[in-house]
Structure 1
């Protein structure tokens, strides 16, 4: 046993240190992009050739979950490696209580972990875990980022043409489409740091809608500089705009892949692409046209898989072999993965399992017994996935059970047929979360 563990350790070290320095990590996050909105995940209408190429050259995960069904808690899970019952931010608090939507001193993030290991770190795009005023304790540079350029809160980020953005702790004037600027800034960061290990958290805003524009103007809430290949489609404007936003997002990723190859650092850079939660219907577009949730039920704000199962692609030429993986993981696993790649020690009390074994094909990949989510809007709800198969959802005090192996759409409640499984999930849900004064709930 000891000899086998030693061989696994040596193979991991070989995988991570074959290059002369620690691997770069680029985490690209789309905003409200559905599981089914990429060609590699079954999309038939919207063109995403760069992300489809990335999926064919890398590892495409088919059973991967976001941290939550809305943006702020999902990003908190991502940054802290703790599931939604333990992480600091557990919902979208908005303007009424911005401190509840901010990280605090002492919160350990993926960025702070990597910074301690000598990484240069940057957040470009949307943050959502701190703001000016009382919530400034959550500002990005207080949580491990050397550089920040973008939006602090999601309300500001709903406008793709803001008059100002943040650079570090200062507001700077802005003209033009924000995600265009974020792409340029991300490419520059990579070029500037090509000779040292870096972590780039590129948090796009597309294809999130400008909610206030729904029903207004030719494109509704689907803000985009041009309609590109969709301009002549016989569709309503919001449908054209939504598709154009996703194809534009795809072009940004293509530029990054080309940049990494041109700089000669693609073989030393792990790139991950995913989305913060399920798809939206907030721009006024017809979601039935694009089938954004794929085979799953629900959209953003649902705890069925349409709201939380997301595309997840890992690309690392020469290290991650082209494959499709059914491994069940979630955003919280990024911290343990970053720790493995950088040589850091995973902080205690994390709900995080490294993805390095499945990515490398070396060693035994551990599995989560349970994954957990909750939602606070419109009445408290909870959900857990047990053994990668059984989804239990508690709403209005009642438990529902779905067998994802035989019912991916979660259409058939099988609670009566499997009382033993239901009892295990019910018991887990009662203990899954720690109490939080910012996110109290009424007991059933």
Structure 2
């Protein structure tokens, strides 16, 4: 059972009440449902509404047509676990508890992820405290069975799916978990379809109550695999380069398979929207769609074929825009004007403050985020970040900071004498092709100072020079 936490809260900016002034008593009482759908390794360029021309994603595109599409939204990190921690706790990776993909072996000999600490405050806990039924269905990645990081101990009434990331590489897994119970599947069930079945069941069961569904399918993370004969419209259309295997399953048609997997993800989104409409919940449900980081290059996926990173440089594990800039779409019929595009710069750690703003909860003082609810509603003053910060503890250590659309990337952080800096002006150079660090040394110095301020040492994820 989750321990009672001593939490310090701060009020909103001086003069602002806890509830957004534009939210009426009736609207606050209705408590809109929230469905946060987060794909795994989906690139910003993989969706039609962000420029994709090969893969068909009509249901996801329709969310954007009927709602708001953000042009500059960022993941919590460039890999999974720290990105998810940032989303759930409202902290960037300079302050968050989990800052990397770190495995631990349990007493049964199975590998799971390092558990999120009991003391951390999650979105699930906040929503549950306000009467929401809560569920995480899909991939968790922040603690195995019977640990303090398990979703049931982090504010979620119900969990189904992959607790550990390693197991989530397989779409025909040996097992999944329902809460703390292991469900043996013996590599005979396509996990995505079962995950969607459980998600739709949760919506059905809670249609009469406010609910928060954190839906985290693993598509299109590698493996690249589908049930036999289900490549659909992509069968025989794309020139293929077979993937011979290795860490992932061999795939003769990786390009068609990737495209069909993204379309299968799109089908799941359509199923969610159809069920909401059937239950009369569509107008009182906020549906959010995003991805946990940039596109991958694993399991035979060729991101260049699909322009998966759009106009940006880099992929998963990079601090370039292609590794951290994600699609971000929000639909809220009757509240968000259809077809809106927002240039507000936002990030995963803003989700927790936004939910606090929505339901009238003071924002935890530990949060690095700001609410983007004024942008969603088109009312009230939208605060802006002074800067955004990321750190990554693989490939020699990396840091990045974004301020006023100037972006500084520090590479080889683990070996300070060999560290190098890259500086980009995203207004003029969104593709990060022109490193101007030597031309603007004063800007590099200014942003290096911010890098130091943003990073708090973490004994679980130290840079090498901190050990």
TM bracket (short chain) = over 0.9
Maintained 8 Å contact 1:117/1:343:
no
SS across alignment from 2:189:
coil
The match for 1:218 is: none
Maintained 8 Å contact 1:337/1:356:
yes
Distance 1:203 1:159 in 2: 15
Maintained 8 Å contact 1:223/1:245:
yes
> What 5-or-longer segments of structure 1 have no aligned partner?
211-220
Q: Bigger shift: 401-410 or 18-27?
A: 18-27
Matched, 1:268 2:284: yes
Matches within 5 A, 1:2-401: 11-14=21-24, 17-18=26-27, 20-95=29-104, 101-132=114-145, 136-174=147-185, 175-210=188-223, 221-225=224-228, 226-236=230-240, 237-322=253-338, 323-387=340-404, 389-396=405-412, 397-401=419-423
Task: Flag the 1:8–1:364 CA change in 2: closer, same or farther, 3 A.
Answer: farther
| TM-superposed deviation, 1:162 | 1.1
Alignment size in residue pairs: 427
SS across alignment from 1:18:
helix
Distance 2:105 2:317 in 1: 19
| TM-superposed deviation, 1:410 | 0.5
Residues 77-106 of structure 1: CA deviation (Å, up to 9, x unaligned): 001000011111100113479787320111
| TM-superposed deviation, 1:352 | 1.0
Maintained 8 Å contact 1:19/1:268:
no
| TM-superposed deviation, 1:19 | 6.8
SS across alignment from 1:209:
coil
| TM-superposed deviation, 1:432 | 1.1
The match for 1:217 is: none
Distance 1:164 1:82 in 2: 31
Maintained 8 Å contact 1:8/1:362:
no
SS across alignment from 1:56:
helix
Residues 397-419 of structure 1: CA deviation (Å, up to 9, x unaligned): 12211000000011111123333
Task: Flag the 1:350–1:99 CA change in 2: closer, same or farther, 3 A.
Answer: farther
Maintained 8 Å contact 1:34/1:311:
yes
The match for 2:250 is: none
SS across alignment from 1:431:
helix
Distance 1:99 1:291 in 2: 33
Maintained 8 Å contact 1:75/1:276:
yes
Distance 2:19 2:349 in 1: 23
Distance 2:368 2:398 in 1: 20
Q: Which residue of 430, 433, 453 corresponds with 1:408?
A: 430
Distance 2:26 2:123 in 1: 20
SS across alignment from 1:412:
coil
> What 5-or-longer segments of structure 2 have no aligned partner?
1-13, 241-252, 413-418
Matched, 1:440 2:450: no
| TM-superposed deviation, 1:378 | 1.7
Distance 1:106 1:7 in 2: 27
Q: Pairwise CA RMSD of aligned residues?
A: 2.0
SS across alignment from 1:260:
helix
Q: Bigger shift: 222-231 or 47-56?
A: 222-231
Q: Which residue of 440, 443, 458 corresponds with 1:421?
A: 443
Maintained 8 Å contact 1:209/1:223:
no
Maintained 8 Å contact 1:72/1:129:
yes
Maintained 8 Å contact 1:85/1:432:
yes
